[in-house]
Amino acid sequence: MAFDGEAGPVKVFAPTGALGMGFLDASLARAIEWQPDVIACDAGSTDSGPSHLGGAIPKMSDAAIYRDLSRLLKARDQLGVPLIIGSCGTAGTDSGVDWTADIARRIASETGLTFKLTCIYSEQDGAQLAERWAAGGIAPLPGAPDVTAETFRGCDHVVAMMGAEPIQAALTDGADVILTGRASDTALFAALPLMRGLPPGPVWHCAKTIECGAVCSSVSRADGMLAVIDETGFSIEPAADDAIATPLGIAAHTLYENADPFLIREPAGTLDTTAARYTQLDARTTRVEGSTFRHEPYTLKLEGAVPVGYQTVVIGGIRDPLIIKQLDPWFAEMRAFFAERAEELTGLKLGDRLLLDIKIYGRDAVMGDDEPAPVPASEVGVMFTVTAPTQAIANDTARFVAHVASHWPIAEWDGFISGIAYPFSPPEIDRGKAWRFALHHVVQDVDPLELVRFKSEVVGAA
């Protein structure tokens, strides 16, 4: 939408960093009094790992979503402004959107609220993406794994991260409440201000700043932020009375979970914060000016998760210094035995579709080969993780691993030892299905609305 230079300011309210994390009632009350033009927040991220996408498993509980969503639906109703929730169900799968919509309908039926609900789905068909890949329409981003057409078909779920345009289409269509599949967090906040004709530099930088809620303020609790965007920049303050927004804190927020704090890619182009100036406007408010947005060929980022099998975990501890001084050869010997025994029992070669990972907590479990001081403590924890094509094979393998490991001999003791202390009986813990992220790619030459589907309804009408 073209900037005509006459747009009025737009007030954006981000109630919390993620729906379900909570926020203070007092902050919400203050935000309502402040009269925002739009309320938006995301409900997801890839940050919690591949199982939320692969298994379409929400990170937040039904109760946590219900509590936050019910308060926001009431606030929206009172103000008569749109409420936009992105990346529903954590990964933004179709089932995540439906799950959140069900909660919204339940809230409506229990409170008597009515609203026009638009769901925007962004889950993709792996087979269609495979064709697109084969035709050269999908490109890797820096750090992407190697993929083949089979990778796209093998994903349990693939989502395309939508930009602001589908949300704008829903707003134009009169939606009161918009629940989206996977969306760029910033797009939720940018959609309305861009429609009102505000320039994209301040809009996208504001959106980037506000999307984690009060994390960019002086308090790190889950709570809200208020921002006014105008033609030359934006001004931002915390919703809570006892918090402040400082130039340092707002500038520092461009660092968070971001590879490059100056160049931030969105579907429609790149936000450049290099020339941004941060100033203190009053005791609680920071002003930001000078960011620019460079329009580039439209791309949509894909996220996909493929199954890697089923896992069983065994946790134990070792206290004997004679064992601790020879951990590597001890585990290397037993691993060689495990490989033989695994093939006898399961017909699978260890290291192919059957994996055994051994971590030594108290030495180098956290940093692995990067650990600069891999010196074991006086007691160490050991975690075995078996990954196998079925849960039964994972559990069977873990059972002999746990048993054999605990009695594996060392030369210093003559006789049958018990070298690992297990806290549980049985020591094996089944983790269920596991996934890995398989895509870090963008769809090119794509229309902003091409990969989304809309579904609207009036909720709560008599």
Partner 1 sequence: MTRLADLAKLIRSKNAGPFWVTFDIMFATDTDYERAAAAGVVTKAWVAETYRVPEADIILVAHPNARAIKFSFPRRSVQGDPGESDMYSGQQYAPLMDLEI
Residues found near partner 1 in the complex (CB under 8 A): 46-51, 141-145, 247-248, 251-252, 254-262, 276, 278, 303, 308, 311, 355, 357, 359, 365-370, 372, 385, 387, 434-437, 440
Signed CA dihedral, 365, 368, 371, 376: sign only? positive
Q: Between 2 and 259, whose beta carbon lies closer to partner 1?
A: 259
Neighbours of 327 (CB within 10 A): 19
Question: Amino acid letter at 230?
Answer: D
Q: How far is the CB of 459 from partner 1 (least distance, A)?
A: 34
Q: How far is the CB of 409 from partner 1 (least distance, A)?
A: 27
Q: Between 27 and 51, whose beta carbon lies closer to partner 1?
A: 51
Q: Between 434 and 451, whose beta carbon lies closer to partner 1?
A: 434
30 backbone φψ class: left, alpha, beta (φ>0; ψ -120 to 50)? alpha
Cα angle for residues 300, 303, 309 (degrees, 5° grid): 160
Query: How remote is the C-alpha of 315 from its chain's centroid?
Result: 28
Q: How far is the CB of 289 from partner 1 (least distance, A)?
A: 12
Distance between CA atoms of 75 and 26, rounded to whole angstroms? 12
Q: How far is the CB of 371 from partner 1 (least distance, A)?
A: 9
Burial class (CB in 10 A: 0-12, 13-18, 19+), 367: exposed
Q: How far is the CB of 370 from partner 1 (least distance, A)?
A: 6
**254: three-class secondary structure by DSSP:** helix
Q: Between 81 and 300, whose beta carbon lies closer to partner 1?
A: 300
**417: three-class secondary structure by DSSP:** coil
Burial class (CB in 10 A: 0-12, 13-18, 19+), 52: buried
The one-character DSSP state at 438 is: -
**324: three-class secondary structure by DSSP:** helix
Signed CA dihedral, 128, 134, 140, 145: sign only? positive
Q: Between 299 and 385, whose beta carbon lies closer to partner 1?
A: 385
Q: Between 256 and 413, whose beta carbon lies closer to partner 1?
A: 256
Q: How far is the CB of 159 from partner 1 (least distance, A)?
A: 13
Q: How far is the CB of 367 from partner 1 (least distance, A)?
A: 6
Q: How far is the CB of 63 from partner 1 (least distance, A)?
A: 24
Give kind and range of the element (H or E) at residue 41: strand 38-44
Q: Between 122 and 291, whose beta carbon lies closer to partner 1?
A: 291
Q: Between 43 and 169, whose beta carbon lies closer to partner 1?
A: 43
Query: How remote is the C-alpha of 37 from its chain's centroid?
Result: 26
120 backbone φψ class: left, alpha, beta (φ>0; ψ -120 to 50)? beta
Query: Tokens at residue 307, please?
Result: 């199954």
Q: Between 115 and 384, whose beta carbon lies closer to partner 1?
A: 384
Q: How far is the CB of 273 from partner 1 (least distance, A)?
A: 9
User: 310, 388 in Cβ contact below 8 A?
Assistant: yes
